[in-house]
Chains A and B, each alone.
Chain A
């Protein structure tokens, strides 16, 4: 990609500026810029809310009666979503019609906003989630129009109307497919991704969500298509539409995902089939005689499990491996099966306090299941799953394969069996002595629950060291929610299985006898080995998954573990606000570097709570230190890792450049960037803190302070160093950091709300 370029300076571009058709790399840049302009966490949350509301509606009516009510469930969910789809389409139609006769290219920013606001729909008669979704869709439509107008202006004003029309047409066409996937989630299907141009565009924008797999397919997503991927591919398709008119390298103009059939997009019933197969396996084990060979039962179960695990495709074709696995597991499990042989297991269960527990949600109406067979079934399932995550080379060699099977089995036993039956060296948390119970095993959305819920004391220091989804410190989240620390909590631990969704888990646990009050999905956090070590002094209880599964609660992996903190005193917990799924947005800091344009952008979002406290302090006359502390603290070294807070703006041929820099160059660069940002912020805070107060009084939640640094010394040299275009002296300057001496041009702006 980088070959063939001559020496490049700020004043020279390799592209012909008068060329109407944009080149490949600029197309990618423009596309990814448009994509990121369209990304909106509020829309993602609204989609999640709609899924959760529809799920609950179906659950309440049918209470997991299984596939026999599949058609009725679908009809109910369709009836629920139909008004939303209709209102969405009507709005987009009205907007398209209204804009068709306007010369929108002549409208400035505020003029365009005013015009767009005039089409805001009246949202009456919708459900709370429907209202939420439509509100977010309206915001998305406005964003698409604004982005289209900006994009069109760069290549030719006369294109603006055409681009806007294309964007709105695409938006309208995407609504029903999106809602079909929402329906699929609600009726226990594994929805298929939005297909056609959306996915190939996603590849261009290098979405993590390609095919729902992350990091080399070793980990299986709990849901084949997760909500985050759905929202991202929606935005990718919309971004692509903005360039269909102008791009000479664009996608075919017809959007192949015009799904006309009611079943299209719904996906398969792998999860329901797995639930039924799981039940069958457990019943078989329950009724087995002493020493009965379970190999046939396991061989019957394995293919069903593998088809529900996206990574299962690796094992599905390896009959030899599956056969060995089934025999191996059956032989060892067999010593616990049967009326006599199962007694030691039953005794161990009782001894560790795992009494006959209700594994199903109380209102499912099923009798309690004997735990022994359920634990054995869970062990078999876990063994297969872990084997499916094994590297290919391990499965191709006979001895390595046997090793992989035995390791997978050991790990599964350590997870599921009572601690007293496990070798000390294998125990995951010796001081806690618990194990994982499978919950809702007859439903398409089971999960595991740890049998111990220890108490912990959470200090502010500990909370700041624990990272939750999105690399946000837990302390930041708790502070945004008004929770005072230190505080004592009881920690509840869960593990994902195929089909687990954290929103369903939260709902089910909220009705359980263990908690008895509402658990918000935003109060569930990833339990990595580091977090487990910090909170419980048992790192073995945590699971380390690729970063792709730590970004959002809507994308989790099978086998991933989570925790929920139940406060032991008063009401010091975040209250799930009416009709909303999301917690108050915590403060966040992000610094992005654009090497191509020698520009750095720092965005410091302060939560509503933090913003109001600072604004009050400013009004009392001592707010500048508070403001500086809140902002400049974000520019100090992160507690762990070198790259977690500085990102590189996606820009075609320089993508990934930052990550490939030598660590010492990166370290020097980071330090300089922080120094420049901190100095700019300090100067601004001294003179213009009143702007912050005005922004804080706006209805939007929180305040974003942006620091843009242009003409940043040394950034162009970094790029040239990577391309091998620097002489020894200049290269030495980059390595030593002297290349970064000087002062960029800073511009600090403050905006109400969160600006991505």
Chain B
């Protein structure tokens, strides 16, 4: 005998069906990857990073649609059986949430793919992908760990960021297949921040950050206040050190350009994992001094101290800045010698020798390679990171020539297609 459904429940069930139909129809459009980015861009990227991104994303879309169809059937049955109504409501709500999560995931990758719109931009981002992967390769190979593919994309803002490979994305069950690194426009052609971000990925995989934190704690063992201050920054410090090991002074100069904002340089926002900009810069200069001796970092430090003496900082922060500055050499040493668990206790500098990016070593590279350094695919492949270091060093040490070096770096990063094969030159 058929159960007569009261009108109110019927209205609710019909509305659930209507809602589900809407979200299901919207979800079905996700099956076409071109809803988020142009097909050639997807294909080009997949070929480049070697991952079938669309197939993987299509899997989560199909799962979403299956979920939606289940919700739809449930809503349909609830129209005849009011006892199913609350279950149907929950299901539809979950479907809506899942839809948002999947859309977020697809938008993220679509934006990343879409930022490769023009030829020069595509070339630049591919160069960055290559550099990011190269910056992880040596260390992860030594640690016998796989190297995740890197996907760099352009976005607004002042600072870079990374969505690490292997972390859970917004969509349940989906792990991030790539190390997705956001690059900001002002650093596109001076991408030392890229190595800070890849440093996060490497640090996560090798267990370096906690070990570095312990080393810093030991270095500050006679000042518990400073210990408490510095310890939460260990992850960001590890990334800064990683960028330094790869690019030397260039990373320090670029960092100062980002943090050297009068309003924020000496501020200490609560919960911010980044060290105070003032201290970050001092630490970078100390790293340079520890490895290379005296150099242009001394002038940068002097300039910063002259412009922003510690006593002008917030009253609560100023003493900590002063105390930290006195111990910076000790902290720098701790950073350079902290053992890396995945490297069997060896310091990171054992694999990434910072002497390779000293001003003298970079000058030797420049001299021995000549003009070929900026044109040859061989040097791009084998010395790409040091080329970034060299361009950044030259830009920083001679402000009058900064525009020339930025332009040179830009040409190097964007012209590799035409330069590589000179395809219509005989």
Contacts and interface: CB of A to CB of B under 8 A. Distances in A.
Genuine A/B complex:
yes
B420 interface: yes
Contact of B423 (A139, A362, A584, A619): A139
A475 to B, nearest CB: 17
A143 interface: yes
Interface in A49-63: 53, 56-57, 60
Contact of B422 (A362, A584, A700): A700
B315 to A, nearest CB: 50
Contact of A608 (B58, B369, B377, B424): B377
Contacts of A609: 378, 381-382
A482 interface: yes
B51 A517 contact: yes
Interface string B43-70: 1100111111011001000000000000
Interface size class for chain B? Answer: 35 or more
Interface stretch (B96-104, B135-143, B281-289, B400-408): B135-143
A362 B423 CA distance: 37
Given A609-B378, A612-B372, A612-B379, A570 B137 contact: yes
Q: Is the interface of B mostly helix, strand, loop or mixed?
A: helix
B61 to A, nearest CB: 12
A554 to B, nearest CB: 18
Interface string B299-316: 000000000000000000
A60 B34 CA distance: 12
Nearest to B145: A570
Contacts of A135: 421, 423-424
Interface in B77-106: none
Interface size class for chain A? Answer: 35 or more
A142 B426 contact: yes
A135 B424 CA distance: 5
Interface string A502-524: 00000000110000011000000
Contacts of B43: 53, 56-57, 60
Interface in B107-149: 119, 122-123, 126, 130, 133-134, 137-138, 140-141, 144, 147, 149
Contacts of A570: 137-138, 140-141, 147
B167 interface: no
Interface string B18-47: 000000000000000000000110011001
A613 B372 CA distance: 11
Interface centre among B44, B369, B376, B377 (most CB of A within 10 A): B376
Nearest to B375: A699
A578 B44 contact: yes
A571 B134 contact: yes
B424 A120 contact: yes
A508 B371 CA distance: 40
Nearest to A480: B378
A132 B368 contact: no
B168 interface: no
A580 B140 CA distance: 27
A16 interface: no
B3 to A, nearest CB: 40
Q: Is the interface of A mostly helix, strand, loop or mixed?
A: helix
B344 interface: no
A578 B417 contact: yes
Given A569-B144, A578-B44, A696 B420 contact: no
B367 interface: yes
A576 interface: yes
Given A510-B50, A700-B422, A619 B372 contact: no
B370 A363 contact: no
A460 interface: no
A127 interface: yes
Nearest to B40: A127
Contacts of B138: 570
Interface centre among B138, B141, B424 (most CB of A within 10 A): B424
A138 interface: yes
B376 A575 contact: no
A363 B58 contact: yes
Nearest to B127: A578
A193 B58 CA distance: 39
A523 to B, nearest CB: 12
Interface in B375-426: 375-379, 381-382, 417, 419-426
Nearest to A512: B52
A698 B378 CA distance: 12
B141 A571 contact: yes
A594 interface: no
A156 interface: no
B90 to A, nearest CB: 31
A612 B44 contact: no
A8 B371 CA distance: 51
7 contacts: A136-B423, A136-B424, A580-B420, A580-B421, A612-B369, A612-B376, A615-B369
Given A42-B423, A113-B426, 8 more contacts: A127-B40, A136-B424, A510-B52, A517-B149, A518-B47, A578-B126, A615-B370, A700-B425
